[in-house]
């Protein structure tokens, strides 16, 4: 059963070849009982006729901002107030740029400014256009402004290129919209009301703890063991969690990043300190995301004084002992109902057999979800500004695989958090 009966959706369409897929999406939405008003830009009408959508939705299609006839029917402000969700599929690079700068030169951009409904954008364009720093910067800006970006799919494009930038299939977009309406946060807000109010954010009322960055394990007063983690992914998740209205605690190893606004950060150096900080927060954490690259081993003994190079010694053997597994400790089942186990999310940064190792950790560490990424590819992962991951979620025996295309860590953080919180809310209900 879908949760779309009588939901009021504006389906915005801008001018891309993928506009034809939106006809299938409109049909799926209408079939599921949603009330759909379609708004098309001029560019969209070059690809597909408004009449197609009128026939599919049973409503005239909105195409102009300053059309006296249309304004006499449902005016643009009325339409903006009517919507419970605005989804724009496809969203072109040009529309992204216009939305990112707050333009209101046509009906669709005006609606996005005038409406209090959440706006979800499904970017679709040539892969080089999607990767362009200007588009990525706009994507980042849009997420900061509160828009939700639906990750573009990867594969062969209409222009013959291969890469990220395809509009996801209509069924994928439909299930995205369905999950959005199904998640209980939305039900509590204005779905049952005739008077639209701003939607409640996904993270409202939730306490999210995130670990980020590397740990440093001292050998002596001047040396340590560590890794290349920049902390960017964890910090992006923390910023996204604040945007979603959550109370966010970050436990961070040493990194060169500014603490995102609204985030409370505890700075730590070693894995033992990170564990202590996490355990303190365990009983007041609803969602725990372990993004830190924790050193697996530490020196058995830390020298009091700087270790001196020995003239007659060509080798130095260090004895290391295993660090505690912070994530597995947080994810342990608990019998004390006053201290419930948080919903636990791990990261699996691997250089080979990425998916197998990730799924193994998901089960072995008793996690609810794991984010797998291939750090052997230097364009993504450690230190890079971009990432490409596969999200695995687990409900009992059932593991769901959800690949997300390469994008900036800021955008990916927002997409991951959205998906994790929708899954979390669904798990809470069942």
Report, as residue numbers or ranges, the catalytic residues: 159
379: tokens are 């364009």
Residue matched to tokens 């590819």: 377
The verdict on 347 binding ligand C5P (CB under 6 A) reads yes
Closer Cβ to ligand C5P, 290 or 411, answer by number: 290
Give residues 283-312 in contact with ligand C5P (rule: CB under 6 A).
290, 292, 294
Q: Count residues near ligand C5P (CB under 6 A).
A: 13
Helix boundaries (H) for 163-270 = 170-182, 184-186, 232-243
Helix boundaries (H) for 226-311 = 232-243, 271-281
The verdict on 277 binding ligand C5P (CB under 6 A) reads no
The verdict on 323 binding ligand C5P (CB under 6 A) reads yes
Interface with ligand C5P by CB under 6 A: which range of 1-9, 94-102, 343-351, 390-398? Answer: 343-351
Closer Cβ to ligand C5P, 347 or 423, answer by number: 347
Burial profile 143-173: b = 16 or more Cβ within 10 angstroms, e = fewer? beeebbbbbbbbeebeeeeebbbbbbebebb
The verdict on 325 binding ligand C5P (CB under 6 A) reads yes
Interface with ligand C5P by CB under 6 A: which range of 61-69, 74-82, 109-117, 340-348? Answer: 340-348
Distance in Å, CB of 369 to ligand C5P, minimum: 10
Q: In DSSP terms, which residues pair with 263 in a beta bridge?
A: 248
The verdict on 34 binding ligand C5P (CB under 6 A) reads no
Q: Which of 89, 107, 87, 109 is nearest to 98 (CA)?
A: 109
How far is 218 from 13, CA to CA, in rounded Å? 56
Closer Cβ to ligand C5P, 346 or 413, answer by number: 346
Strand runs labelled E in 319-385: 320-322, 343-350, 369-374
The verdict on 327 binding ligand C5P (CB under 6 A) reads yes
- Selected binder of ligand C5P within 139, 326, 354, 389 (CB under 6 A): 326
The verdict on 4 binding ligand C5P (CB under 6 A) reads no
Site string for ligand C5P, 208-247 (x = CB under 6 A): ---x------------------------------------
Interface with ligand C5P by CB under 6 A: which range of 6-14, 43-51, 345-353, 410-418? Answer: 345-353
Closer Cβ to ligand C5P, 167 or 241, answer by number: 241
- Selected binder of ligand C5P within 100, 149, 348, 390 (CB under 6 A): 348
The verdict on 346 binding ligand C5P (CB under 6 A) reads yes
79: tokens are 């339409």
The verdict on 199 binding ligand C5P (CB under 6 A) reads no
Alpha carbons within 13 A on the beta-carbon side of 326 = 32
CA 311 to chain CA mean position, Å:
54
Specify whether the CB–CB gap between 338 and 283 falls below 8 A: yes
The verdict on 361 binding ligand C5P (CB under 6 A) reads yes
Strand runs labelled E in 142-220: 148-149, 153-156, 162-166, 207-212, 217-220
322: tokens are 């295993």
Residues near ligand C5P (CB under 6 A) are 211, 271, 290, 292, 294, 323, 325-327, 346-348, 361
């Amino acid at each position: 059963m879908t949760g779309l009966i009588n939901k009021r959706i504006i389906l915005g369409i801008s001018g891309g070849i993928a506009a034809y897929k939106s006809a299938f999406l409109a049909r799926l939405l209408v079939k599921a009982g949603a009330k759909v008003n379609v708004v098309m830009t001029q560019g969209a009408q070059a690809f597909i006729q408004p009449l197609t959508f009128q026939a599919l939705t049973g409503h005239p299609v909105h195409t102009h901002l300053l059309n006296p006839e249309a304004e006499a029917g449902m005016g643009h402000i009325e339409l903006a107030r009517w919507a419970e969700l605005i989804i724009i599929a496809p969203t072109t690079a040009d529309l992204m740029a216009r939305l990112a700068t707050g333009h209101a030169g046509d009906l669709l951009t005006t609606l996005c400014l005038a409406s209090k409904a959440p706006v979800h954008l499904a970017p679709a364009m040539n892969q080089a256009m999607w990767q362009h720093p200007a588009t990525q910067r706009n994507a980042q800006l849009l997420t900061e402004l509160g828009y939700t970006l639906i990750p573009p799919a990867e594969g062969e494009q209409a222009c013959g290129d291969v890469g990220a930038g395809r509009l996801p299939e209509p069924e994928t977009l439909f299930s995205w919209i369905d999950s959005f309406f199904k998640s209980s946060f939305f039900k509590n807000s204005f779905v049952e009301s005739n008077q639209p109010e701003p939607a409640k954010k996904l993270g409202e009322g939730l306490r999210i703890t995130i670990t980020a960055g590397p740990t440093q394990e001292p050998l002596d007063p001047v040396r340590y063991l560590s890794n290349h983690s920049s902390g960017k992914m964890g910090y992006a998740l923390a910023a996204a969690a604040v945007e979603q209205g959550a109370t966010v605690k970050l436990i961070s190893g040493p990194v060169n990043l500014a603490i995102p606004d609204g985030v409370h950060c505890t700075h730590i150096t070693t894995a033992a300190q990170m564990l202590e900080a996490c355990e303190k927060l365990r009983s007041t954490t609803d969602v725990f995301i372990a993004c830190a690259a924790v050193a697996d081993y530490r020196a058995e003994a830390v020298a009091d004084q700087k270790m001196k190079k020995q003239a007659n010694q060509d080798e130095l053997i260090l004895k290391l002992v295993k660090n505690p597994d912070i994530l597995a400790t947080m994810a342990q089942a608990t019998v004390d109902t006053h201290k419930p186990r948080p919903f636990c999310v791990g990261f699996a940064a691997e250089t080979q057999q990425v998916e197998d190792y990730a799924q193994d950790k998901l089960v072995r560490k008793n996690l609810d979800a794991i984010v797998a990424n291939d750090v052997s590819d230097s364009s993504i992962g450690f230190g890079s500004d971009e990432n490409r991951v596969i999200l695995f979620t687990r409900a009992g025996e059932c593991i769901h695989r959800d690949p997300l295309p390469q994008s900036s860590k800021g955008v990916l953080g927002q997409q991951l958090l959205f998906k994790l919180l929708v899954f979390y809310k669904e798990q809470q209900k069942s």
